[in-house]
Copies of this chain bind each other. A is one copy, B any other.
Amino acid sequence: MSERTKIKDIARVAGVSTATVSRALSDSSLVTERTREKVREAATRLNYRLNVRARNLRIQKSMAVLLVVRNMSNPFYLEIFKGVEEVARAAGFVLLMGNTEDDHDREVEYFDMLRDGQADGMILMTGNMPADHEIVRDASGMTPIVVALEAIENSNLAHVQIDNCAAAKQAVHHLADLGHKRIAHICGPLPEILSRLRLEGYRKAMAEAGLDIPANYEPVGNYSIQSGCECARALFDDVNPPTALFVANDEMAFGAIGELRRRGLRVPEDVSVVGFDDLFISQSYSPPLTTISQPRVEIGRTAMTMLLDIINARLSSPVVTEMQTSLIVRESTGAADQR
């Protein structure tokens, strides 16, 4: 490994001071075109490369943002990653992955990294914050944190979100419009605000459609395929099974459909199913899944853009951005059997 060229070497070769080199290379207007050229020439000749570590120490930035999720292997995040990555790299930021596994200590760790300057900002997708952390205590709209996907209550942090309640209502109305009367909802875990909002949308839509919600029609899962399976089992083992399901995410919907299949029930002939998320696979599932689509790449882009605005103190933008969802009708829903 050959010796790294540093700014000092260029200074010597170009016959100027290190200050001038630094300025020339960063296109400062303080230096003449002639010197700038001389320095540039020396730099390329010596094959100079900036030492990012040194620079970051001096300018007190790290040019990195933390992307914190609760479970790295959830496919839902993928396209958000992509949107974030796109904007981040365009702005010269690198992406640090954070994975909390819903563990409080890990959450603290990432907040520590932010406080300690290992990252200049954070995109938080865990729906959770260590309430006792100093960053959280004096958080404001100027704190370089953007909460995406999952709202965090009682915080005035910047948010990018969708209207979960309205989207859920739309899904349920779609089923009601198809003539379904017995519509059940497979919930996400209830402490989470996300799940609560979708549940709320379900209830509102049912009320608006003048439909009852039997006691057992709101089984609670945890967003996993497995739990979708179990919730469906509970629903269809009981008396008075539904003819339609609104499921809080696509993965549980897949689980539910699998369970229905095992019981010899056809989708959509016997039971209609609507999911939520529109995973990459949902359109080619069999049957292709009717679901709520979120503009995930766009959510990622927006979140990162907002974060940059905060970091660069361009405060113009609003602190909360709401993204549009849409109901994608595919083949997993059909008219209710008119018996």
Contacts and interface: CB of A to CB of B under 8 A. Distances in A.
Interface residues of A, number: 48
Contacts of A73: 78-79, 81-82, 280
Q: Of residues A53, A64, A95, A286, which shows the largest number of chain B Cβ atoms within 10 Å of its Cβ?
A: A53
B225 A117 contact: no
When all copies of this chain in the complex are counted, the total is 2
Nearest to A257: B286
Interface string A46-88: 0001111110110000101001000011110011011001000
A82 B67 CA distance: 14
B56 A53 contact: yes
A97 interface: yes
A178 interface: no
Nearest to A228: B284
Interface of A: 49-54, 56-57, 62, 64, 67, 72-75, 78-79, 81-82, 85, 89, 94-97, 99, 112-113, 115-118, 225, 229, 251, 254-255, 257-258, 261, 279-281, 283-286, 288
Given A49-B115, A72-B81, 9 more contacts: A49-B116, A50-B116, A51-B57, A89-B99, A94-B96, A251-B281, A254-B281, A254-B284, A285-B285
